[in-house]
Amino acid sequence: MPHGWPGHKPGQFAFATSDRSEGAHPYTIASGWNDEKPLITFVTKELGDHTSRLREKLRVGQDVKIEGPYGCFTFDNGQPRQIWIGGGIGITPFIAAMKHIAQQGLHPDRAHPVIDLFHTTAEYDGTAIAKLRADAKAADIRLHVLVDARDGFLSGERIRKEVPEWRDASIWFCGPAGFGGALRQDFAAKGLPVTERFHQELFNLR
């Protein structure tokens, strides 16, 4: 990034314009920020006309306009535990957060909450999962990977079984809106104060 980019918190997003005819598209930033190495990373999935053509239209050295950062999905709270849930491409903000925590690992006085990360996916990509496991290990985060056809669907009951201390946790969700709404309702029924502790990325700008 050139001079002028203010840096970003993990979980934030930016608008990227690579084709003026398409306009700006929002992408969650998938990297932590380091002033000494001013690079940012986006992870995309072929979900529509624009993203399905990126592999053909983008080229090394091309100028891309970046605007941001934006968003409050930044994992800021005082709970001793956090439960992260990334559905499909919704894993992106958690990748950035893990990289950020790993960078902070160089400073032992900067403690972070105990974190369980649940990643659900319909398609198993061995290379992507291997990178995810490496990021989780570097950030000292407990990773749970569920492939729909193999493991079934993630539920509130399943999360509570894996994280017995869920009552002390805040929940951070990024993925399909209906899935997030169902989990929020489930945890509310079990007594979690969801207004304060259930955070859902509402990424429906385009």
Amino acid present at 78: G
| Residue type for position 176 | P
201 backbone dihedrals φ, ψ, rounded to 5°: -75, 115
Q: What is the maximal distance between C-alpha atoms in the chain?
A: 52
- pTM over cut 0.85: no
Cα(54)–Cα(57) distance, integer angstroms: 5
pLDDT (tens digit, 0 to 9) for every residue of the chain, 206 residues total? 887 788 888 878 888 998 888 888 888 888 888 888 888 888 887 777 778 888 888 999 999 999 988 877 888 777 889 999 999 888 989 998 998 888 877 555 556 789 999 999 998 889 999 999 999 999 999 999 999 999 999 999 999 999 999 999 999 999 999 999 999 999 999 999 999 999 998 655 44
For residues 111 and 138, state if they share a domain.
Answer: yes
Neighbours of 56 (CB within 10 A): 7
Measured in whole angstroms, the distance separating CA 74 from the mean position of its chain's CA atoms is 10
Helices assigned H by DSSP within the chain: 49-52, 54-57, 92-104, 126-138, 148-151, 156-162, 177-189, 194-197
Q: Examine the domain organization and report whether 20 and 44 are in the same domain.
A: yes
Mark whether 47 and 66 lie in a shared domain.
yes
- Structural domain total, the chain: 2
166 in helix, strand or coil?
helix
**Same domain? 96 vs 189:** yes
Give the residue numbers spanning the domain of 41. 13-70
In a shared domain, residues 65 and 94:
no
Q: Are both 176 and 90 inside the same structural domain?
A: yes
